Amino acid sequence: MKNTARTIGISLLAAAVGAGVALLFAPHSGEKTRRLIRFKVQEYAKDVREQVSDNASALYKNGADSTRRALKRLGRTIKPIAA
């Protein structure tokens, strides 16, 4: 139990030191960093939306083509039976 508490304490201290160093050496102010993050997140979301839309369109087209082929095959199979 003592080793676990020590490990947790050292981890928290290391995290605090790391956060402090990151703040000291940050290339931009907090406001600029937040704007940059917001911009990147919006661009990423836009890319994801476009990719999802493209994939959904391709999937729909694929499904429609497969359905047409299946109906065409069924039509060929049913004609001889009905005749």
- Determine the pLDDT at residue 80: 55
- Determine the pLDDT at residue 48: 95
The SS3 of residue 23 is: helix
Give me the average pLDDT of each 10-residue run along the chain (83 residues): 87 93 85 91 95 94 88 70 52
**CA-to-CA distance for 70 and 66, rounded, in angstroms?**
6
- Determine the pLDDT at residue 83: 47
Domain that includes residue 65, residue range: 2-82
Query: Does the pTM exceed 0.85?
Result: no
Q: How many domains does the chain have?
A: 1
